Structure 1
Amino acid sequence: MVTHAFGHAGREIPAIGQGTWYIEQGERREAIAALRRGLDLGLCHIDTAEMYGDGRSEAIIGEAIADRRNDAFLVSKVLPHNASKSGTRAACERSLRHLKTDRLDCYLLHWRGPHPLAETFAAFEALKAEGKILSWGVSNFDEDDLDEALAAAGPGAIACNQVLYHLRERAIEHAVIPWCERHGVAVTAYSPFGHDDFPASGSAGGRVLAEIAAAHGATARQVALAFLTRRPSVFAIPKAGKVPHVEDNAGALRFVLTEGDLARIETAFPRGRKPHALPML
C-alpha cells in the first residue's frame, strides 16, 4: 500500500483520504457509516471546513469519530473573511466545538482573502503553540501566492496546499506541484473525479481507464486515483457519502500503475497549457 508522510510525529498516512461536503439531514446516518468505514480501511485523512453547511459537516464528522479520534487525521479550513488574527482563533474554536475535539491535525486558509497572510499565519502559529492545531497550510494557492506565503511564514512552516486536481484539470502539474516539492509542502487534491464530468465509459479516455482497470482487477475511478497520487507529494481526498464509494476509493491503494499505464493516461488526458490562475472551489 502506498503511504505518504504528511502527518505529525512521524506518522504516515495513505495517499487517499476522505473529503466532506454538506450532507442533508436524511443522509446523516449513511455519511457517518461511510466515514467510519473509511477509517476501517485506512483512509484516515478527513477533510472539512467551517463553510461546509455552516459547520454542519464538521458536526457530522465529530459524531462519526467520537470514539475514534486518534484514528483520524483531521483537517478543517477557515474562511478568508474570518482569517484575521482574532477571527482565525474564533473560527478554529468553533470548528473544534463542532468536531467535539481538542485539536485539529491541520488547519487551512480556504483561499486568499482581505486579511494579510502574515496576520493569518501568526494566528495559526499561536494556535499551534497552544496545541489546538498540530500543523497548518493553505488552499487554492498558485505559485505566486505560495511565494508570498513562504515569504510571510518562512521555510518549513506550510504543511500543505489543497488544490483542484483531476484528470481533466491537471494545471497544477505545471508549477504548483514542482513548487511544493521544492519546498517540502504536501499537495492535497480535492475533487479528484471532477464535477459530474468523470470520463464516460464510452469516451476515448474512459475506454483507456477501463482497459487499464481490467488489467489490474480495478475500477476506472481507482485507476484515476492511482494516477493522480503517483507522486509521493500528492494526496487525494475524494468526497464519498456512501460506504460502497468509500470502499471503491480505498481500492486504489492496492495496486501500482505501470510505466505503460501512466503513459497511456498522460496521452488520453493531456495537462494542456498553464492557466493564468488556478480554478478556485
Structure 2
Amino acid sequence: MTRTVSTPAGAAMPVLGLGTWRLGEAANRRTAEVAAVRSAIGMGYRLIDTAEMYGDGGSEEVVGEAIAQAIRAGEVQRDELFIVSKVLPQNASRKGTAQACARSLARLGLDRIDLYLLHWQGPHPLRETCAALQALVAQGDIGQWGVSNFDIDDMAELNALGEGKGCAANQVYYSLGERGPEFGLLPWLRDHGQPLMAYSPIDRGALASDARLEALAARRGVTVAQLALGRLLAESGVVAIPKAVRERHLRENLAAAALVLTPEEIVEIDRLYPPPRRKTPLAMI
C-alpha cells in the first residue's frame, strides 16, 4: 500500500515521487526520457513533479507523453496520478498565472494539474498570485496550489493573506546534506498541516556514493540512496521527489518509501549528518 501524506484539503499525496528536472532539454533524449517516465509509472510511481521552467516546457511534454502512453495502454488511470507543476515567478501575475497554467496543461495533455506551485517568490504581489491560483482551483484547472523555495518568513507572509491559507504544500531543497529546513520551516509546516516536498533529496546523486553511510546501508541490506531517502521520510509530513531515469535507480528510490528505520539507525545517521542547531538561510538549486 502506497504511503501518503495529507494536504490541508485532505488530498492524499504519495511520500515518494519522481522528479523531472533536466528532462526535456534535448530532442535526441526525448524518446528515452519518455520511456523512463512511463517505466516509472509502470513500476508504481504515482506522484510526478515537473515545472514550466524545466527544459522550457520540455519536461512537461515528456511527462505528458508518458502519461498518455500509460493511460492508452491501460497501465494507469488519470485519477491514480498526482501531477505537480510550477509557474515561474515572472509569469505569476493574475492574468499571467492563468496563461502559464493553460500552457502547462496543453504540454501535459491534461485537463487538471493536481498541485500547482509558485516556483519561488518574485516580482508580482503574493496576494495577486494567490488570487489567480484560487481562481484556477475554482474553475477546476488545478486541484490545489502551493509554493516552492519559501522559507519560514515567506510562509508567514503568505499565511497572513486571506487567500494564503489555501496553500497546500511547500517544495524546498532538503536532504541529509542540507537539513536546514528541519530547524524552523518543517515544524512550521507541520503546525499548519502542509507537507514539505523535498527536491534533490539525494543531493543530486552525491549521497548515493557517500562512503560514510555505506556500512550502515550494507548492514540493513539497502543502498546508500535508499538509506538517505528513508531518513528524510522518517520525518512526518515529508515527501521526497528524487530524479532518476535509469530503471535500477527508479526501483531503488521507489522501494525507499517502504523503508522503516530503527531508532538506532536514525541516531547513527544523525551522528554523521547532524540536524541543524540554528536557523540557516534556505538553500536553493
TM-score, normalisation: structure 1: 0.92
Runs of 4+ in 1 over 6 A off after TM superposition: none
Q: 2:207·2:224 contact (CA, 8 Å) conserved in 1? A: no
Aligned match of 2:128: 119
Distance 1:33 1:10, change over 3 A: farther
Give the match for residue 16 of structure 1: 16
* 1:163-242 paired onto structure 2 within 5 Å: 163-195=172-204, 197-198=206-207, 200-201=209-210, 206-207=211-212, 209-242=213-246
The answer to whether the Cα contact below 8 Å between 1:216 and 1:255 also exists between their aligned partners in 2 is: no
Counterpart of 1:65 in 2: which secondary structure?
Answer: helix
| Partner Cα separation in structure 1 for residue 160 and residue 14 of structure 2 | 30
Contact 2:196 2:237 (C-alpha < 8 Å) held by counterparts: yes
Return the letter of the residue paired with 2:198: A
**d(CA) in 1 for partners of 2:19, 2:82:** 12
Q: CA deviation at 1:197?
A: 3.1
CA contact (8 A) 1:31 1:242 kept: no
Task: Give, as a single letter, the amino acid of the residue that structure 2 aligns with 1:22.
Answer: R
Q: 1:155 to 1:126 in 2, by over 3 A?
A: closer
Q: What is the CA–CA distance in structure 1 between the aligned matches of 2:274 and 2:217, rounded to whole Å?
A: 19
Which string of whole-angstrom CA distances, capped at 9 and with x for unpartnered residues, describes residues 10-69 of structure 1? Answer: 553431100102333232222222222322333211111100111111001000001243
Residue 187 of structure 1 aligns with an amino acid whose one-letter code is L
- Distance in 2 separating the partners of 1:8 and 1:103: 19
* Alpha-carbon distance in 2 for matches of 1:248, 1:34: 14
- Normalised by the length of structure 2, the TM-score is 0.90
Aligned to 1:59: 61
Q: Does 1:151 align with 2:160?
A: yes
Structure 2: unaligned runs, 5 residues or longer: none
Question: Does structure 2 conserve the Cα–Cα contact (< 8 Å) formed by 1:30 and 1:242?
Answer: no
CA apart distance, 1:275: 4.7
Give 3-state SS (helix, strand or coil) of 1:232's partner: coil
Distance 1:73 1:127 in 2: 17
Correspondent of 1:82 among 91, 98, 118: 91
Q: Gapped runs of 5+ residues in structure 1?
A: none
What is the alpha-carbon distance in structure 2 between the residues aligned to residue 43 and residue 154 of structure 1? 31
Cα deviation for residue 154 of structure 1 reads: 5.1
Q: What is the CA-CA distance between 1:254 and the residue it aligns to?
A: 3.0
**SS of the residue 1:213 aligns to:** helix
**Contact 2:183 2:276 (8 Å CA) reproduced:** no
Could you say what secondary structure the match of 2:6 adopts?
coil
Partners of 1:2 and 1:270 lie apart in 2 by 29
Following the alignment from structure 1 to structure 2, what is the Cα–Cα distance between the partners of residues 155 and 252?
Answer: 33
* CA distance in 1: counterparts of 2:2 and 2:138, whole angstroms: 31
Tell me if the contact between 1:14 and 1:44 (Cα under 8 Å) persists in the aligned partners. Answer: yes
Equivalents in 1 of 2:134, 2:9: separation in Å? Answer: 17
- Asked if the contact 2:5/2:15 (under 8 Å) is kept, the reply is no
Structure-1 separation of matches of 2:202 and 2:215:
18
Q: How many residues align?
A: 276
Q: CA deviation at 1:72?
A: 1.7
Letter in 2 for 1:30: A
Q: Tell me, what secondary structure is at the counterpart of 1:231?
A: coil
